[in-house]
Chain A
Amino acid sequence: MVRFVQRFILSKKNHITLISAILIVFGFISGLGFQNETVAIWFLAIASMLGIAPIAIQAYQALKIRVVSIDVLVTVAVIGAFLLQNFEESAIVTFLFLFGAFLEQRTLNKTRSAIKELTEMAPESALKQMENGVFEEVLVDEVDVGDILLVKTGAKVPVDGTVLSGEGHINEASITGESVPVGKKKDSGVYAGTILENGTLQIVADRVGEDTTFGRIIELVEEAQDSKSEAERFIDRFSKYYTPAVLGLAIITWLFSRDVELAITLLVLGCPGALVIGVPVSNVAGIGNGARHGVLLKGSEVIGDFSRVDTIVFDKTGTLTIGNPEVADKEFYTDNVGGVLAYLASVEKESDHPLANAIVEHIGDTTLCRVERTDVVKGAGIVAYIEGHRVAVGNVTLMERENVHLAEKARADIARFEKNGNSLVLISVDGELKALMGIRDQIRPGVKEDLQKLKKLGVKNLVVLSGDNQGTVDLVAGELGLTEAHGHMLPGDKSKYIEKLKTKGHIVAFVGDGVNDSPSLALAQIGIAMGSGTDVAIETSDVVLMNSDFSRLPHALGLTKATAANMHQNIVIAVGVVLILLASVFLSEWMNMSIAMLVHEASILAVILNGMRLLRYQL
C-alpha cells in the first residue's frame, strides 16, 4: 500500500508541479492583492507540502541505500524553511526544483533523441514460417537463428540473414548510410533494419536481436554515450562526496552562526546539478550528432583524444583510393598479343590478388589454357607452366629472379609507368619479356577537399603509408597535398612507424579499412575504420566512418573539437555559478533560498541547452 502511494505520487509529479504553481499564484494574490495573510499562508503551506512529497520520497529511497542525493538536500532545506514558518520560500523552492526537473527531463530527452531515432528504426515484427509451412506474423523477439522468414515489399528486414529465394532491392541506409538500393538475390546477405523497396524475399535468420549488425551499432552508440572520460569519472567521485559535504557544511554553519536561514540556503545552492549533468550532456549530444551523420564515436575518451590529434596516418588502398584498381597502361614486346593475353588470363585466374583481378577483368573473354603447375613467389608474383612453357607474372624482382633480360625500351617503359603512378605487372614466357601492364587505383572523389578541411581544423601532419612502390605513393601524396608519403611498407612496418610518431609526442590517428590494418588501428591513439557495416571494422576501432565515406572524417574531427570545447564551457558555467552563489551567500544581502534555487536550476538548463547546440553541428 505504502509502495503504491509512493509510486502514485511519483507518477503524478508533473500534475503536482502544476497544482503547486497555481496554489502559489493564489497565495500571492490573496496575500498581496487582498491583504489576507492567513489565507495566503494556507495556500503556500499546502503548495509546499504537496510539492515536497515526491522529492521526499526520492530522498527516502536514496537514503535507504545510503546515497545522499540532491533530493535529500532539498528535503532538509524545505523542512527547515517550513519549521521557520517561511512558507513563501518553502513553496517556491519546491516548485522551482520540480519545475526545473521537468524542464531538465524535457530538454534531456531532446539530446537523447538521436539514439531514439536509431532504436525506432529497429524492426518489431517478422513473418515467420511455422511448422505447417504457413508464414505468421510474430514479434521479432520470437525469431531464432535458423528460422525462415518472409520479407515483403516495403517491410523491414527483421534479422541479419541470407536470402533463400526471391529477388529484390534493399535500401541499406540504416547500416551504411548509402540510400541507393542494393540488388539482392539467392545467397546475398541482408541486414536487420534495412528496408526492402521492391520484390519479395525468403531469408534464413543468421543473427537475431542484439547480435545483428544493427543491434550492435545501437549498443555501441548507447554504451559510447554512457562511457565516462577521466574528467567525468572525477566529477562522479567528486559529487559522491560533495553532496554529503554540503550537508556537513550547512550543519557546521548552523552550529556556529545559529542562523538556520543561512544553513538552509547553503543546502539549496550546494546542489551539484549543473556540474554532474554538464559534461555528459555534451558527450551524449556529440555522439548523437555523429550517429546521425554516419560517424560512430566510441565514447568520451575518444572525443577527448581525437579533438587533440595533430597527425593523421592514412592507408592508401581503399582509404585514399577507391580500392578497385584498373589496368591503365600496357605495352607488348611480341607480335602474338592474343597468345600472351590468353596465358596471362589463365595464370591470373588462379589468384585472388587485387592486381590479378584487375587484369582478368581487363582482358575479358579469352580462350583459357590449362595451367599445369603454379608456384606463388611471395611478394613477387606467380610462376606457372602452360603447355610446357614457363610463364612468370609479377614485378621487377620476379623478372630478375627469372633472369629475364630487360631491354632499353622496356626499362624506359617501366620508368614511365611508375612515374604515372602505376603498379607494375610484367609477363615473361620462357625467360623472355612479353608484356608490361600498369595498374592504377582511382583516388576517391572529394578526398583532396576533405584533406584541406582537416588541415584547416589544425592537423599538421597528413601521412600516407602503403605497400605500393614509392613512385605511386609519391604521386598520390603530391596530388592530394599530403605532408609525407612512404611506400614499400608491410603491415608490420606501418605499426612501427606509428610507434615512432607516438614516441615523438604526436597524437596519432590511423585511418584504414579495418581488416589488414588492425595492428595499426589498435596502436594509434585513435583508430579510424572505413567500415561498411562489417564486424571487424566496427569492433576494432575507436571511430567508424559508416559506408567507408571519407567525407565524414572532417565532420568527425570538427565534431569532436566542438564537443570537447562544449564540455569545457559547461564545466566553467557550472563551477562559476556555484562559486558566485557561494560568494554572494556570505557577502551579499539579497541572496536567499528561492534565488539560489532559481539560479541553480537556470544553470542546469544553461548547460543542457549549450550541449544541445551540438545536435545541430555541421562542418
Chain B
Amino acid sequence: MKKATIQLETLACPSCVQKIEKATKSLAGVDKDSVKVLFNSSKVKFDFDTEKISIGDVEKAITALGYVVLKSQVKDK
C-alpha cells in the first residue's frame, strides 16, 4: 500500500467532491475507506495497492471527469 495525494487545479462546487469521491472509490486497488477529497484545497488523498493500480490510472479516471491534475505525490505508508 502506498499513500497518494493528487493536487487538482480547482474544485468548483461540492458536487465535484461527490463525483471525484465516487469515481476514485470505484477503482479496484484503491482503498475505499482511505479516499478523502478535500474541497477547499482541491486535493484527493487515498491509499492504493501498487500491484493492482498505478497512480496514472487514478489520474486518468479523474481527468475523464473533466478535472485538471496539477501534480501528484506518492509516499510509502
Contact = CB atoms under 8 A, between A and B. Distances in A.
Given A7-B66, A57-B66, A70-B15, A65 B23 contact: yes
Given A6-B66, A57-B66, A104-B13, A280 B19 contact: no
Interface string B6-42: 0000101111001100110010000000001011110
A109 B19 CA distance: 20
A413 B30 CA distance: 71
B41 A226 contact: yes
A277 B13 contact: yes
Interface residues of A, number: 37
Interface residues of B, number: 23
B53 interface: no
A61 B66 contact: yes
A101 B68 CA distance: 18
B65 to A, nearest CB: 5
A273 B12 CA distance: 12
Contacts of B18: 67, 69, 240
A401 interface: no
Contacts of B36: 223, 226
A280 B14 contact: yes
Nearest to A277: B14
A329 B1 CA distance: 62
Contacts of B5: 210
Interface string B58-76: 0000001110100001010
A584 to B, nearest CB: 25
A62 interface: yes
Contacts of A67: 15, 18-19, 22
B19 A62 contact: yes
Interface of B: 5, 10, 12-15, 18-19, 22-23, 26, 36, 38-41, 43, 64-66, 68, 73, 75
25 contacts: A6-B66, A57-B66, A58-B66, A61-B19, A65-B65, A67-B18, A67-B22, A70-B13, A70-B15, A104-B12, A105-B10, A115-B41, A141-B73, A222-B38, A222-B41, A225-B38, A226-B39, A226-B40, A226-B41, A239-B14, A240-B18, A273-B13, A276-B13, A277-B14, A280-B39
